[in-house]
């Protein structure tokens, strides 16, 4: 029995190391593009869905208005998702600067308010290229021009761009930044391997005609989450080689880590809930393989209290896990200029095992609270 268990544990470990090797290769395939130098001709609509963001929405709008992209070639549409604070009032104060406010007035309860907000904003848009971000994000002045230049130079239909946390105030928030870089790296690496599957909606762009061509959010609108990854996977079915990841520092969007463990777990459960709708079952199988690897680590940790052999097996698994994760995380955090955070991996790694198993179960079995709503 011990021999069979050991073989299963080592197989799970082998799968995880193969996945990480694949991801390392995908990240290195991505090159930092140089500016094409071509004049901008693309009409752009910047889309934001906002709910109860009175503290930060003004900063986000100011950053977008400060972009060096030609003012006559972009508009900002913000869909207020039934906010109960001053969000709509703040957005309205920018009306004289061509910031358009769309206020949702849904009487019936929905499960996918954000997708509804984005869809309605797209209906009002005049741009051919849609660039989505979140209402609590910050960006440099070259953000929009970097994204559009990459789009124009490479004949792409969809672009995922980097997102990171900043202004961390605690060890917990810095740990989140490292873990988040792992997630962003996964999405980038899959695109680098021409197998687009994950992205982050805080920095996500696509052609409007392609959005309508794939039916928008139809078929994925029964989940609160998934306005980014599930849409990307729909587009990847039609245009597998025309989705890019913009590995350029000027294109980075910055946001805040969660301040409390409860907020963090709710967010991750929301993200995990999307996996049941993944169109590419190979990605689902990959995610399941990673989950099983973490489960095997947890099981071996518990069995180690009964037989020291399992602790030895656990140690072997952890050493390989740590070395391969270091190899993956260092170049990603060099890109973000946060390489000093990688030392936190020694703290995060054992915690991440329990967290990953928990979120994998809870994200697909229960409703969760998000923005004052109980959704699935």
Per-residue pLDDT tens digits for 57-79: 999 999 999 999 999 999 999 99
pLDDT at 373 over 60: no
108 belongs to a structural domain: yes
Which of 301, 308, 316 lies closest to 354 in space, CA to CA?
A: 301
Percent helix, strand, coil in the chain (nearest 5)? Answer: 55, 15, 30
Say what angle helices 308-335 and 345-362 make with each other, to 10 degrees.
100
Name the 3-class secondary structure at 163. Answer: strand
216 belongs to a structural domain: yes
pLDDT of 186? 95
- Which percentage of the chain shows pLDDT scores above 70? 92
Mean pLDDT of 263-276: 77
375 belongs to a structural domain: no
pLDDT at 169 over 70: yes
Q: Per the structure block, which two tokens stand in for 214?
A: 């794939």
Residue 40: give the domain boundaries. 32-171+193-259
- State the distance between the two ends of the chain, measured CA to CA, in whole angstroms: 39
pLDDT of 109? 56
Per-residue pLDDT tens digits for 126-139: 999 999 999 999 99
181: CB partners within 8 A, 6+ apart: 164, 329, 332, 333, 336, 338, 341
229 belongs to a structural domain: yes
Per-residue pLDDT tens digits for 143-152: 999 999 999 9
329 sits in which H/E element:
helix 308-335
- Counting the structural domains of the chain, the total is 1
d(CA 259, CA 171): 10
pLDDT of 219? 84
Q: What band does 3 get if pLDDT is binned at 50, 70 and 90?
A: confident
pLDDT of 365? 62
**At 65, which CATH number?**
3.90.550.10
Is 29 within 8 Å of 193 (Cβ atoms)? yes
pLDDT of 268? 82
68 belongs to a structural domain: yes
pLDDT at 376 over 60: no
276 belongs to a structural domain: no
pLDDT of 368? 54
pLDDT of 160? 98
335 belongs to a structural domain: no
Name the 3-class secondary structure at 100. Answer: strand
Per-residue pLDDT tens digits for 275-331: 666 767 777 788 888 899 999 999 999 999 989 999 999 999 999 999 999 999 999
d(CA 330, CA 327): 6
Question: What are φ and ψ of residue 247, in 5° steps?
Answer: -85, 75
pLDDT of 285? 80
In the chain, beta strands by DSSP E: 44-50, 74-80, 99-103, 129-134, 138-139, 158-160, 163-165, 204-207, 243-245, 253-255, 368-370, 373-375
Q: Per the structure block, which two tokens stand in for 19?
A: 């996945």
Q: What band does 113 get if pLDDT is binned at 50, 70 and 90?
A: confident
Instruction: Tell me the average pLDDT of the chain.
Output: 90
337 belongs to a structural domain: no
- 257-261: which pairs have CB atoms within 8 A and are 24 or more residues apart? 257/165, 257/168, 257/172, 257/173, 257/174, 257/176, 257/177, 257/180, 258/173, 258/176, 259/169, 259/170, 259/173, 261/172
pLDDT of 74? 95
pLDDT at 194 over 80: yes
Is 137 within 8 Å of 55 (Cβ atoms)? no
């Amino acid at each position: 029995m011990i021999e069979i268990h050991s073989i299963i544990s080592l197989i799970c470990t082998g799968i995880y190391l193969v996945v990480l090797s694949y991801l390392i290769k995908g990240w290195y395939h991505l090159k930092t593009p140089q500016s094409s130098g071509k004049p901008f001709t693309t009409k752009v609509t910047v889309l934001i869905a906002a709910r109860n963001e009175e503290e930060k929405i003004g900063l986000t709008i100011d950053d977008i208005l400060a972009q060096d992209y030609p003012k006559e070639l972009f508009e900002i549409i913000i869909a207020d998702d039934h906010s109960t604070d001053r969000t709509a009032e703040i957005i309205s104060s920018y009306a004289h600067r061509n910031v358009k406010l769309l206020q949702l007035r849904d009487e019936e309860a929905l499960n996918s308010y954000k997708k509804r907000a984005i869809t309605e904003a797209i209906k009002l848009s005049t741009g051919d290229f849609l660039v989505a971000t979140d209402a609590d994000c910050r960006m440099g002045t070259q953000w929009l021009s970097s994204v559009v230049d990459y789009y124009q130079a490479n004949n792409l239909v969809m672009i995922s761009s980097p997102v990171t946390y900043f202004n961390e105030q605690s060890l917990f928030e810095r740990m989140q930044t490292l873990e988040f870089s792992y997630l962003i790296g996964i999405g980038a690496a899959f695109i680098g391997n021409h197998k687009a599957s994950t992205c982050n909606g805080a920095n996500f762009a696509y052609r409007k005609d392609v959005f309508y061509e794939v039916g928008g959010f139809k078929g994925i609108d029964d989940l609160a989450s998934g306005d980014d990854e599930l849409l990307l996977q729909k587009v990847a079915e039609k245009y597998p080689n025309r989705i890019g990841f913009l590995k350029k520092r000027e294109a980075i969007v910055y946001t805040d880590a969660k301040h409390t463990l409860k907020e963090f777990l709710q967010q991750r459960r929301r993200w995990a809930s999307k996996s049941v709708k993944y169109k590419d079952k190979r990605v689902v199988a990959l995610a399941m393989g990673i989950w099983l690897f973490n489960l095997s680590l947890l099981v071996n940790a518990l069995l180690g209290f009964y037989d020291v052999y399992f602790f030895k097996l656990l140690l072997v698994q952890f050493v390989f896990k740590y070395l391969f994760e270091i190899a993956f995380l260092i170049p990603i955090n060099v890109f973000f200029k946060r390489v000093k955070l990688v030392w936190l991996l020694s703290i995060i790694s054992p915690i991440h095992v329990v967290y990953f198993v928990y979120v994998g179960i809870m994200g697909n079995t229960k409703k969760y609270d998000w923005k004052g709503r109980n959704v699935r």
